[in-house]
A and B are shown apart, each in its own frame.
Chain A
Amino acid sequence: MQKIVLKILRTGIVSEPPPAPDEALRRLSGRLQDDVLRQLGRALAIRHVDAGSCNGCELEIHGVNNPYYNLEGLGIKFVASPRHADLLLVTGPVSRNMEEALRRTYAAMPAPKLVVAIGDCGCDGGIFGESYCSRGAVSNILPVDVAVPGCPPDPAAILRGILTAVSVRRS
């Protein structure tokens, strides 16, 4: 126990300030009213679905939970059930074998709901493209509010995408 406490004290707090939202990432706007976004922005619940990625994006989504990015410190957390989620974080490309599961996960979420597509493959199918078994971009299946490019996008970029989705649009 002593060793653990000492290690925690020596490590200190390494968390960094969050990135600012970036309107360039927004694909759809006006889906949610500003007052709803204000509420969601303060305590957001995220459900993640890997719809066919290479698992690189998952490594970076794990990254946003590390002490540097400290997602939970912003009032945002990943939840185990779509029924508890406000935002669906999807990596792709969407394989045909995952298409139905992705649709059902989205359907199980209570409205209002947001969708953020992660990574080049989530944005446009990436190197895998569309084929007999790949539907490509997440937006081919679901309405996508924000899309974050990158292969994989780093945790700061993912965090920026999430914060953009719940930020109130500046006119």
Chain B
Amino acid sequence: MNAAVPARRAKVDAAGWLAAFEQAAQAGGRLGALWASDERDRAGGFAVHGVLVTHEGLLWLELAAEGETYPGVANLFPAATRPQRAIADLMGLVASDLDARGWLRHGAWGARDFPLRRDVKADAQFTRGDARYAFVPVEGEGVHEIAVGPVHAGIIEPGHFRFSVVGERVLRLEQRLGYKHKGIEKRFENLALGDCARLAARVSGDSTVAHSWAFAMALESASGFEPPARALWLRALLLERERIANHLGDLGALGNDGGLAFGLAQFSRLKEDLLRLNARLFGHRYLMDRVVPGGVAGDLDAAGIAALLEEAARLDEELVALRAIYYDHPGLQDRCINCGRLAPRTAAALGVVGFAARASGIAIDARLYPGFAPYDQLQPRIASHRNGDVAARIVVRFEELFESLKLERRILAGLPATPAAAPLPPPAEGARGIGWVEGWRGEVIVALEAGAGGRLRRCHPHDPSWQNWPALEHAVIGNIVPDFPLINKSFNLSYAGADL
């Protein structure tokens, strides 16, 4: 299909669906996204969509559901488990291997209400349903449960963690998420395109550039439009600045959780400096709504470039000094090394993505492959580590910071002299588009279909947190409860991004 990344689309029957997933699983592919659509108003039934990430690029499969059922793929790709539950809650389609407990539906609507169906109006209200939830019990002498959340003891997003522990050691962690579900997918179908871009920018606030770019890429792919070169280079600049801001924030928080409050003070100062320069040069501290369909809002002049280069030089110097302190600190090492280990084999089986994958020996990065423009010309170097522990996720963040600063310099030296945006022709009704962007946390995939009257018929934004949340359940096994905040922070997953 017409897209900025290698992507193909195919309609398959149940046998083809399963064969494709089996083949992808054997060939080392992974599940990129899984969602459903309501086709009853035109094709007669429902459809399930899966995006496989393979060595050839993206493969978008569409399967016509058999009534309200379809063959599940969670046995091939464990990452499908939660999306399949979300599909059941929102669209009422039942996978053959479905975990039937509600995931997004916490009793805010009934078990027979399916809000994402097209015959459900945007302002529909439902009678509350049953909110009870059966956690998997762990039994044995001395086993007890610790229930945490949804409101946590800090400035954190809401979610529930159920620990089964013996003494201080964690036997099992079960996550229950979905508390932040606010109907983003339904909302996409009822907003004008400009507002849809603003909505995409707010799927997960900490990844606003990644989501905005993936959404713009998808919409541009549906319109058959190629943004001007300068727009792509500026988008990459913004994406790297988002990566730098988040890695700075995380390194500070990880130091703090490891007992080094000095780290939090220093890194949060550096992050604030960066955000202030963002506000000055781009008009928003987190760069929200800067990547727009058609290009980039605003542009950069010579003074702006000079300010960014000066900042990069200063950050480089500060980071070298802080890295030496982190790597030499016995207390921090004691807390982080071998803590929260996600073994490479587990990471691969779970289809983990982003820096968490790279810290567990999996060399994937969409900036490198497929190397979407302009990264094909920027030649990023991939950071990787094999230990998969908290320390490895710290090391990968440091390496990615230095690499992002290098990329920033390359971008600023090579900014093409085209306009920063061009008018985007509206996509034709029925046109499909897909976007794939390596955000700071991992790959963001957005798939959409244009509807009538400049609206979207369906849009599915996929945050990498879907794949990485289950990895946290594994990484925490055998660790002590007091290390959980540190392990959790080392992944720093988005609740909003996966609750939609």
Contacts and interface: CB of A to CB of B under 8 A. Distances in A.
Interface of A: 3-4, 7-8, 11, 14, 48-63, 65-68, 78, 80-82, 93, 95-98, 101, 105, 126-134, 151-152, 154
A115 B156 CA distance: 18
B187 A128 contact: yes
Interface stretch (B93-101, B264-272, B378-386): B264-272
A96 B110 CA distance: 13
A133 B272 contact: no
* Binding site secondary structure of chain B: loop
Contacts of B120: 132
A93 B184 CA distance: 12
Contacts of A63: 268, 272, 275
Interface in B105-121: 106, 108-109, 113, 115, 120
A55 B204 CA distance: 6
Contacts of A68: 269, 272
A98 B179 CA distance: 6
Contact of B106 (A14, A97, A128, A154): A97
Contacts of A56: 202, 205-206, 208, 286, 288
A46 to B, nearest CB: 9
A63 B184 CA distance: 27
B9 interface: no
Nearest to A102: B151
12 contacts: A53-B180, A55-B204, A61-B155, A66-B271, A67-B269, A95-B180, A95-B181, A96-B108, A97-B178, A101-B179, A127-B187, A132-B109
B205 A128 contact: no
Interface residues of B, number: 60
A54 B204 contact: yes
B203 interface: yes
A52 B268 contact: no
Contacts of A66: 265, 268-269, 271-272
The 3 A-B pairs of least Cβ separation, nearest first, read A56-B205, A80-B153, A96-B108
A105 B202 contact: no
Interface in B49-71: none
A60 B155 CA distance: 10
B211 to A, nearest CB: 10
Contacts of A61: 155
Given A52-B182, A66-B269, A101 B157 contact: no
Nearest to B325: A3
A152 B153 contact: no
B150 interface: yes
Interface stretch (B33-41, B123-131, B307-315, B468-476): B123-131
Interface in B146-186: 150-151, 153-158, 178-184, 186
Contact of A128 (B151, B182, B262, B268): B182
Contacts of A57: 205
Contacts of B115: 132-133
A59 B494 CA distance: 12
A161 B214 CA distance: 34
B321 interface: yes
B496 A55 contact: yes
B155 A93 contact: no
B242 to A, nearest CB: 11
Given A7-B325, A56-B288, A68-B272, A93 B156 contact: no
Contacts of A11: 266, 269
A112 B126 CA distance: 35
A59 B268 contact: no
Nearest to B196: A127
Interface in B353-390: none
Given A14-B269, A78-B154, A97-B180, A131 B186 contact: yes
B249 A59 contact: yes
Contact of B108 (A53, A78, A97): A97
Interface string B262-284: 10011011011001000100000
Given A53-B205, A56-B208, A62-B155, A3 B268 contact: no
Nearest to B199: A127
Given A58-B157, A95-B499, 16 more contacts: A7-B325, A50-B157, A52-B179, A52-B180, A56-B208, A60-B285, A65-B268, A66-B271, A67-B269, A67-B272, A68-B272, A95-B182, A126-B202, A127-B187, A127-B199, A133-B181
B328 interface: yes
B198 A152 contact: no
Contacts of B286: 56, 59, 152
A98 B187 contact: no
- A105, A132, A134 — which one has the most chain B CB atoms within 10 A of its CB? A132
A156 to B, nearest CB: 11
A134 B262 contact: no
A132 B186 contact: yes
A49 to B, nearest CB: 6
Nearest to A126: B202
A101 B151 contact: yes
B495 A55 contact: yes
Contact of A55 (B154, B206, B268): B206
A163 to B, nearest CB: 18
Nearest to A92: B182
B206 A131 contact: no
A157 B122 CA distance: 33
B122 A131 contact: yes
A76 to B, nearest CB: 13
Contacts of A7: 262, 266, 321-322, 325
- A80, A127, A134 — which one has the most chain B CB atoms within 10 A of its CB? A127
Contacts of B208: 56
